[in-house]
Amino acid sequence: MSIFVNNKTRLLVQGITGREGGFHAEQCLTYGTNVVAGVTPGKGGHIVAGKIPVFESVHQAVNETGANVSLIFVPAPFAQDAMLEAVDAGIELIICIAEGVPILDSAKTLNFISKQGARLLGPNCPGIISPAERCKVGIMPGYIHLPGTVGVVSRSGTLSYEAVSQLTALDIGQSTCVGIGGDPLIGTDFVDVLKLFNQDPETELIVLIGEIGGNMEQDAARYIKEYVTKPVAAFIAGATAPTGKRMGHAGAIITGSDGTAAEKKSALETAGVVIIPSPGEIGITVKNMID
Amino acid sequence: MSIFVNNKTRLLVQGITGREGGFHAEQCLTYGTNVVAGVTPGKGGHIVAGKIPVFESVHQAVNETGANVSLIFVPAPFAQDAMLEAVDAGIELIICIAEGVPILDSAKTLNFISKQGARLLGPNCPGIISPAERCKVGIMPGYIHLPGTVGVVSRSGTLSYEAVSQLTALDIGQSTCVGIGGDPLIGTDFVDVLKLFNQDPETELIVLIGEIGGNMEQDAARYIKEYVTKPVAAFIAGATAPTGKRMGHAGAIITGSDGTAAEKKSALETAGVVIIPSPGEIGITVKNMID
Amino acid sequence: MRFSARGNVIKIHEYQAKELMSRYGIQIPEGDTASDPEQTALLISHLGPPTIVKAQIHAGGRGIGGGIKFANSPEEGRGIAEGLIGSHLITNQTGAQGAIVHKLLVEKTVAIKREMYLACVIDRSSQGPLLIVSPTGGMDIEKIAATQPEKILRVPIDLGAGFQPYQSRNICRFLNLDPKFIRAIFDLMTSVCGLFIENDCSLVEINPLVLDERDCLIALDAKIDFDDDALFRHMRLSNFRDASQQEELERQATEAGVAYVKLDGTVGCLVNGAGLAMATMDLAHGVGAEPANFLDVGGSATIEKIAAAVKIMLSDTNVTIILVNIFGGILRCDILAEGIVKAFRDIGSTLPLVVRMSGTNVEAGTRILFESKLDVSFASTLRELEGILSAKYA
Amino acid sequence: MRFSARGNVIKIHEYQAKELMSRYGIQIPEGDTASDPEQTALLISHLGPPTIVKAQIHAGGRGIGGGIKFANSPEEGRGIAEGLIGSHLITNQTGAQGAIVHKLLVEKTVAIKREMYLACVIDRSSQGPLLIVSPTGGMDIEKIAATQPEKILRVPIDLGAGFQPYQSRNICRFLNLDPKFIRAIFDLMTSVCGLFIENDCSLVEINPLVLDERDCLIALDAKIDFDDDALFRHMRLSNFRDASQQEELERQATEAGVAYVKLDGTVGCLVNGAGLAMATMDLAHGVGAEPANFLDVGGSATIEKIAAAVKIMLSDTNVTIILVNIFGGILRCDILAEGIVKAFRDIGSTLPLVVRMSGTNVEAGTRILFESKLDVSFASTLRELEGILSAKYA
């Protein structure tokens, strides 16, 4: 089992003929993902990676290939259009990699999505991977993953790769790894993912990787306290970041009292979460919890 | 049992100090409805009908009285504001009596409502009544109703009163009577109501009253054919209306082939619905079906 | 024609619709209006022939009705104008009396490469504006829908996000237009949606939308209807009103604020509620009594409004009997009765009435009518009403 | 200060924010800007004292820092201007170097009846703009949130329907304003929402919003931040750019398109991904090695962009060591390595590097660095990195 994606995933890649889109579509394919179609307006009829047909529109791609998940690589200014096109064409799960999507575009997209009943992951996220299903829908390096029972959810892409590497190095496999993205407005948050991990019979332990800014970790803490029956370990990045400065991620700016790493750690600790003290100790902390 | 409203309904009346609002709030109260609050900005602190407290805002009314259903009597140009205020304050079921709500206002309201998970009945509808629950939330004359097992759903207000009178005159009682409204954009349609009547253990037979314009009756026919296990009788008004002219209801205009009474009757007949030939024969048709 | 129980109907001419479109950046043919033959000739010489001369009336079917003609010279235009201006143009939508022509729209002809169809309406299923496009222009869209449904693309517009680039690409592909038009289609659709939403329209139609030889998209014909219920926030639209284009009784009804549609029968129908009104007409028709009108007095009617409605019915000389069918909800029967009595007294009419009232304050209403000494037959049910009418028309 | 990985940051002055607000119909105090003492004096005599003189810098805390002063005469104003213009104003938000003052905003003082707070931001839970209002004006809103949360009202705006009249009534009641202000509040909030949405703002703040003696609502102070990611569709905002207000290295980073925040330590940190960058800083701090900067080179970095980022780090004279922590996803390790080598060669730097790379094309990247002959210590895990750093700083 896995959450969000599995061997029934029929992946469409929007922006497949771009540099990043083409590279990562092939990487997903190589990993084992069932990449059924690509879309780039003006490039309909092309073939990518020797076998992925390119269509003019998402509607066409869905009609011809039954694609049900879309991975979006178009540049940020065009991401809203691509996301809405995917929703309109009936795609159930949309994963938007693009960094720098205007926040009002995200707001409009999320409003439309909530009306239509689809799910968005991101924007500004690395995607999802389920090693046991050989299904990689995103830009994470596939080879670092190992099938197993730890669910990983993170706001940060590279920090989640770091976490996975440490787990795999200790022979601790992952059920599903979900990057929810670093923007202040995202389609799927910690609570959404925690809910699914908690229900997923294959997930036995959850690693949550948060950072400064916003209050999503506090929401997660409340949810964990009330509903989550599985052990959770958490690392929060940004303990040394100065107040009032924006640390790259649009979501990572500390405003007032409710965004500091200390406050988040304390909320999670109160909810019974094991706090990982240093970024180098993610793997070892989980290992100690399992042993 | 009943659908939508029952003895747990705690009714709020928006626009309660207006002529219509005041009159009908009292009528609802007299019938037995639990009218717990009214709202009219600028009239907070007043008392209507000797016992209904008036509040400045829906938020206040909900906080103080636990109101969960709202009946809206404000003039059409202010209806959008009133509906959105009710949704925002957490009201679950909103019944908008106002006739003449601009259609884009309805569209914006429905978009907001679908995001928030509330339900709207109307606009331009007479409301709902459940005789056995002594719960009347609308402008229909209460005394014509009789507790029983026939569910009535209608696009037209007065025509539904006519239907109920005929049923009651033959001693056939009603489970719930729902007026969905005559506007082209409404919050709750035939299919929504049919679904609930079909599930309601107290409803044994359904009377559907449609009219020319749009294709809601055809949608209902499709739904009945596939899902509804209870007998349905239908009357469609407007067989003699000329094409291309709007018959009062904004929704009642025949355009092209898909809005005529003949087409609607034929669709319903194909779905196994008993067609009521004349508006004077609603009661007798149902009686014959029961006997 | 469309009517509103609120009595605030604005219909506009083609030239006014084009003017509004032009303000939103939609391209229209070069042209102007003329109100007399001299002006017409002058305009043609100014524009340079060939030109097209289009009678401005509030009804369709003008082409077949002779209201649209080519003028290859100012002289020819003068002749056309002499024939049209002041005449009553009869089309398949005007009725036998026709519609009077006061103004002509004179336009330079367009070199047409392709004709397409474009409209914006409100859609029930997507709960917002819906664009309708078809590669088949110049035809009645309902005819296309009936015979070639695959030639119609429906594009819902999200009110929060607006028209999107991908929709433009889809439309272009559907219309079989070169991808170089994606931007032009995007701009056009954005304009149409903006016009529709900002002016509370109920219909914006461009039929045909043409591609001319310079590859411009042009609104060759234009039709805009407004949502009567939203006119309160577009008061300047009142300037568009053209009373000369409205049937007299319907114009009076508009002023009185009741929904009224004149028909060809003899039974004046006074009903509250559109559904019950239609059902009552159906019932009359069923016993061979043809309705003279649809009339819905609406919910919150006053004595004056009822009286005005009754007077409108009574001034239709075809009417020989008044059928009243009222189920009082918001409308109270006593107010209704007083309105009827007032109208009959004011006019001094002696026409017979068949009255069926029910609901709020029915006893008071019945007493008022009973004491009025008008020629009233009372029915307590619809079947009784049917019986009385049936007896009279047997 | 806010930074963007896209390098397109626009911050604007108070006077520019007020100008923009004024265009949306929001009332601002009467006034204008002055760039020298003479202009200041002239402006004051023109406006008529008493006036207020406000230094225009891209940082808050000006009041306590001495950047806001009353001038009761043109002469007094000239004196204030002489002291301020050209000086570096130090506030609690500028850092020790201060911010240079080029312009003053001179305004007529307002007779204040009440001070309130108003802001618009994006809200995660309602997924759209959120108005924040408080009857307590002139204070830091975070302080109010912490100490008197009941004094803050949060009003979410639906992007489809816009600001609603009922919200205006609720705000008026919350602010304890007379109902006669409902319309003025409605207009003000509608303007703020329009300004926020149409210009892709990330913050619109009026603090204090004052009620003056004529019962007008006036934006006494104003702050507007923009969504860096949306600047591509607001190119005219570039005119607002004021390079003099930005720290030099951060300005260079903006130009290079990398997210960089200068800090006070000695360890230059080059990382991809904001989360990993913050974690790397946390790790350095943990072993007593203070980071000299936050630097996220982002996903799709080119050799040139990496080189520019490294050069910016190297030109910080506090830096004694470069820490590289890369987990290649979209970013490929070979490109990163080439960028680093290019920067070190171009500058001729010999500083030591501690490098931990992982992910896409890591072998190629390692080879490039290995063959470069730079002083590189390689770590294969974060714990190894921690160990090397710990040894150097022990």
> How high is the pLDDT of residue D8?
47
pLDDT in tens, D185-195: 999 999 999 99
Contact A270, A221 (CB under 8 A): yes
Topology classification of domain C247-392: Rossmann fold (3.40.50)
- CATH of span D111-236: 3.30.470.20
List Cβ neighbours of B193 (8 Å cut-off, separation of 6 or more): B3, B151, B153, B178, B180
**Min distance B11 CA to chain A CA atoms (Å):** 28
The pLDDT-based confidence of D283 (bands split at 50, 70, 90) is: very high
The model carries a pTM of 0.91
Task: Please provide the DSSP assignment of A38-77 as one string.
Answer: EE-TT-TT-EETTTEEEESSHHHHHHHH---EEEE-S-GG
* Of residues B33, B60, B55, B23, the one with CA closest to residue B42: B55
In angstroms, the CA A67 to CA A58 distance is 9
Tell me the CATH architecture of domain A11-121. 3-Layer(aba) Sandwich (3.40)
Q: What angle do CA B56, B180, C146 make, to 5 degrees?
A: 135
> How high is the pLDDT of residue C2?
28
> How high is the pLDDT of residue C1?
20
Q: Inform me whether the pLDDT recorded for D82 exceeds 70.
A: yes
With CA atoms as reference, the chain C residue closest to D159 would be C160
Tell me the CATH architecture of domain B140-290. 3-Layer(aba) Sandwich (3.40)
* Residues C173, C176, C179, C184, CA torsion sign: negative
Sites in chain B below the pLDDT cut of 70? 1, 243-258
Of B140, B248, B278, the CB nearest to C5: B248
Q: Where are the domains of chain C?
A: 30-108, 111-236, 247-392
> Could you give the count of Cα atoms lying within 13 Å of C360 in the half-sphere of its Cβ?
18
Q: A288: exposed, middle or buried (C-beta count within 10 Å: 0-12, 13-18, 19+)?
A: exposed
List Cβ neighbours of A272 (8 Å cut-off, separation of 6 or more): A224, A225, A232
In angstroms, the CA B261 to CA B214 distance is 10
In angstroms, the CA A137 to CA A95 distance is 8
Contact D152, D132 (CB under 8 A): yes
Task: Provide the angle, in degrees to the nearest 10, between the axes of the packed helices B282-290 and B157-169.
Answer: 50
Q: Where are the domains of chain B?
A: 11-121, 140-290
Backbone angles phi, psi at B155, to 5 degrees: -80, -20
SS3 C324: strand
Contact A93, A119 (CB under 8 A): yes
With CA atoms as reference, the chain B residue closest to A111 would be B115
> How high is the pLDDT of residue A217?
95
Does A114 touch chain B if contact means CB atoms closer than 8 Å?
yes
In angstroms, the CA A6 to CA A34 distance is 10
The chains in contact with chain B, meaning 3 or more Cβ pairs closer than 8 Å, are A, C, D
Max CA-CA distance within chain C? 77
Does B114 touch chain A if contact means CB atoms closer than 8 Å?
yes
> How high is the pLDDT of residue B248?
60
In angstroms, the CA C260 to CA C250 distance is 6
The single residue of C76, C205, C250, C386 carrying the catalytic annotation is: C205
B11-121 with B140-290: one CATH topology?
Answer: yes
Does B156 touch chain C if contact means CB atoms closer than 8 Å?
yes
**Min distance B30 CA to chain D CA atoms (Å):** 30
Reported ipTM: the value is 0.90
Q: Inform me whether the pLDDT recorded for D4 exceeds 50.
A: no
Q: Which helix (H) or strand (E) holds C357?
A: strand C353-359
Query: Tokens 């209403």, residue?
Result: C365
pLDDT in tens, A86-120: 999 999 999 999 988 999 999 999 999 988 889 99
Catalytic residues of A: 249
**Secondary structure, 3-state, chain B:** CCCCCCCCCCEEEECCCCHHHHHHHHHHHHHCCCEEEEECCCCCCCEECCCEEEECCHHHHHHHHCCCEEEECCCHHHHHHHHHHHHHCCCCEEEECCCCCCHHHHHHHHHHHHHHCCEEECCCCCEEEEHHHCEEEECCCHHHCCEEEEEEEECCHHHHHHHHHHHHHCCCCEEEEEECCCCCCCCCCHHHHHHHHHHCCCCCEEEEEEECCCCHHHHHHHHHHHHCCCCEEEEEECCCCCCCCECCCCCCECCCCCCCHHHHHHHHHHCCCEECCCHHHHHHHHHHHHC
> How high is the pLDDT of residue D241?
74
Amino acid at D224: I
Using a CB-CB cut-off of 8 Å, the residues of chain B touching D169 are 41, 56-57
Amino acid at C385: L
Token couple for C334: 């006593």
Task: Provide the angle, in degrees to the nearest 10, between the axes of the packed helices C274-286 and B157-169.
Answer: 60
> How high is the pLDDT of residue D1?
20
Using a CB-CB cut-off of 8 Å, the residues of chain C touching D159 are 160
Would you give per-residue pLDDT tens digits along chain C (394 residues)? 223 333 446 789 999 999 999 999 999 999 999 999 999 999 999 999 899 999 999 888 888 888 999 999 999 999 999 999 999 998 887 777 888 999 999 999 999 999 999 999 998 888 999 999 999 988 888 788 888 889 999 999 999 999 999 999 999 999 999 999 999 999 999 999 999 999 999 999 999 999 999 999 999 999 999 998 898 899 888 777 777 777 777 778 878 878 888 888 999 999 988 899 999 999 999 999 999 999 988 777 789 999 999 999 999 999 999 999 998 777 889 999 999 999 999 999 999 999 999 878 889 999 999 999 899 999 999 999 999 999 988 7
DSSP state at residue C137: -
Select from A58, A115, A120, A185 the residue whose CB has the most chain C CBs within 10 Å, as the one to mutate to test that interface.
Answer: A115
Of B59, B88, B111, the CB nearest to D160: B111
> How high is the pLDDT of residue C8?
47
SS3 C338: helix
The chains in contact with chain D, meaning 3 or more Cβ pairs closer than 8 Å, are A, B, C
With CA atoms as reference, the chain D residue closest to A100 would be D229
DSSP state at residue A242: P
Residues D229, A104: C-beta atoms closer than 8 Å: no
pLDDT in tens, B173-228: 999 999 999 898 999 999 999 999 999 999 999 999 999 988 899 999 999 999 99
Token couple for C319: 């009417």
The pLDDT-based confidence of A139 (bands split at 50, 70, 90) is: very high
Token couple for C242: 């053209």
pLDDT in tens, B183-197: 989 999 999 999 999
Token couple for C155: 């594009």
SS3 C221: coil
Residue contacts between A and C (CB atoms, under 8 Å): 37
> How high is the pLDDT of residue C352?
95
Q: Inform me whether the pLDDT recorded for D181 exceeds 90.
A: yes
Token couple for A236: 């929060």
Contact D217, D186 (CB under 8 A): no
Contact C281, C323 (CB under 8 A): no
Task: Please provide the DSSP assignment of D284-300 as one string.
Answer: HHHTT--BSEEEE--SS
Task: Provide the angle, in degrees to the nearest 10, between the axes of the packed helices C248-256 and C303-314.
Answer: 170
In angstroms, the CA B231 to CA A75 distance is 56
* Residues B60, B62, B66, B67, CA torsion sign: positive
Query: Tokens 């599985």, residue?
Result: A230
Using a CB-CB cut-off of 8 Å, the residues of chain B touching D177 are none
Tell me the CATH architecture of domain D30-108. 2-Layer Sandwich (3.30)
Residues C124, B214: C-beta atoms closer than 8 Å: yes
DSSP alpha helices (H): ranges in A67-156? Answer: 79-88, 103-116
Put the strands of the sheet holding A274-275 in their side by side order. Answer: A135-138, A127-130, A174-179, A147-154, A205-211, A232-237, A274-275
